[in-house]
Amino acid sequence: MAHDSDDLYVIKAPKTLYEMTSAEVAAALVHTKTVLIPVGATEDHGAHLPLGTDLFEAREICRRTAVALEALHCPVVIGPTIPFGVSTFHMGFPGTVTLTSSTLILVLKEVMHSLYHHGFRNLLLVHGHDGNLPQMMVAAQDVVNETPDSTVVVMNWMVELAKAYAKGDMLRSKKGESHGGEGETARILVTHPELVDLSKAQEFYLQPHELRKIQSPEHMKTGGGLFYPTRSYAALTPVGSIGNPALALAETGEKGYDAIVQWLTMVIQRDFFGLEG
């Protein structure tokens, strides 16, 4: 995608909390008590992707979901993107910024309490980095304990995306891919093509017994029953990514976003607007 300017990327409407004025938030609260909170990370994704990949994805998922819900007359506000997460296992790569688990839990709780203070009652946490899921769940439970009339939900779209991948016609990869691989690279190609350098993409695959602990139907993040905490990505993959990112196409990223957003939209419409999706 070519732009005439020297923009690194383009931010599309609707506004998130960062771009709104306080008066605009007050006006939105007349129509909705529901806020989507993108929970990102700043971490290595290989030489071909920016460190902000996960926060860009989380924001875009929430943006597309808000647009889809608006079309269904279910207005929501997009909250502030949390730029940092628990990325301890990517610290072997320069530029990665990590919070400890307890800090992320506190950040999420204080963001949710702030939004609750202003009148939001449905607080929906949407990750861009599945490594944050345990902390998101703890923070969600704590906020429910601490507020009398909130509804907090952690929305893990990875399960739906894995189902879409399993149908077999979305990814060009024939071998197991994961972090920074074809699928994730494709999604960043959709929104931040100027920040993707496929000439630097490196093909790297894990042994099946290693991949199973990171990315498989057995992993909790994709609906399974196993969770192996990751110690070090640098020890797993010298290039930081897993799979063949050079296979990524923007159209694949669009399909991935469609699968994710369809599920989020269905659940939010059903559970927060009293409509069976």
CB of 151 to Zn ion, least distance (A): 27
Residue 96 contacts residue 44 (beta carbons within 8 Å): yes
| Nearer residue to Zn ion within complex by CB, 51 or 68 | 51
In degrees rounded to 5, what are phi and psi of residue 34?
-110, 130
Residue 239 contacts residue 202 (beta carbons within 8 Å): yes
CB-nearest residue to Zn ion: 54
Site for Zn ion contains 60 (CB under 5 A): no
What distance, in Å, lies between the first and last C-alpha atoms of the chain? 35
Site for Zn ion contains 182 (CB under 5 A): no
CA distance 24 to 270: 26
Range in contact with Zn ion (rule: CB under 5 A) among 53-61, 92-100, 244-252, 267-275 = 53-61
Q: Is the peptide bond before 208 cis (omega within 30 degrees of 0)?
A: no
CB of 142 to Zn ion, least distance (A): 25
CB of 102 to Zn ion, least distance (A): 22
CB of 94 to Zn ion, least distance (A): 17
In degrees rounded to 5, what are phi and psi of residue 114?
-65, -45
Size of residue set near Zn ion by CB under 5 A = 2
CA distance 61 to 268: 13
* Contact track, Zn ion, 113-152, x by CB under 5 A: ----------------------------------------
Question: Where does 103-233 show beta strands of DSSP type E?
Answer: 122-127, 151-155
Task: Count the residues in the chain.
Answer: 277
Give residue 150's identity as a one-letter amino acid code. Answer: S
CB of 40 to Zn ion, least distance (A): 9
Range in contact with Zn ion (rule: CB under 5 A) among 52-60, 114-122, 151-159, 203-211 = 52-60
SS3 90: helix
CB of 72 to Zn ion, least distance (A): 29
| Nearer residue to Zn ion within complex by CB, 57 or 139 | 57
| Cα torsion 136, 140, 143, 145: sign | negative
Site for Zn ion contains 54 (CB under 5 A): yes
> Which residues would be at the binding site for Zn ion (CB under 5 A)?
53-54
